[in-house]
Amino acid sequence: MALVGYARVSSVGQSLEVQLEKLKHCDKLYQEQRSATGKRPRLAACLEYVREGDTLVVTRLDRLARSTLHLCQIAEELRRKGVHLQVLDQQIHTNDATGRLLFHMLGAIAQFETELRAERQMDGIQLAKARGVVFGRSKQLTPAQVAELQERRQQGVLIRTLMHDYQISKATVYRYLHAADTSTEGARSA
């Protein structure tokens, strides 16, 4: 009947200090600095470790799961193993019906907030594009350099040499060469 804590922050620049302070009463503690969207080996190890009668303790629901679906999957795994979940900041404990109801309601609200945030972000991106903001990495070579690269390749210069001379990757060399092939095909068919 151990208390097993799990703490997570999204990036290396963030601190686990506040969570660790709140979880210091736990018998065992798992922590990681990873985004919720990627693989989280410490969470997997934590879920593997917990046994029947244990309680998994987190500070907030969003530290545990990336979506309502993921939260429900974790909750089901914990239920199947006979492990309770305690969320300190929201004062949830799944050892009774009220705690389980509150847990699922807060999970749904958290998912709703995540989706609203994503919609606002997409609206902002669309507005920026309408104003002419260009997203993505800027081109590495000028149009003159691209033409030169294409000409040198037609003369038989090796891809490896082009990579070295222009300080670009193999994929970028081929992308510039493919763009030339596409534009000449378009000119021929017109």
Long-range contacts of 23-29 (CB under 8 A, 24+ apart): 23/57, 23/58, 23/59, 23/88, 26/2, 26/57, 27/2, 27/3, 28/2, 28/3, 28/4, 29/4, 29/5
> Are the C-beta atoms of 83 and 50 separated by less than 8 Å?
yes
Residue 88, class by beta-carbon neighbours within 10 Å (0-12 exposed, 13-18 middle, 19+ buried)? middle
Tell me whether residue 10 is one of the annotated catalytic residues: yes
Catalytic positions, written as ranges: 10
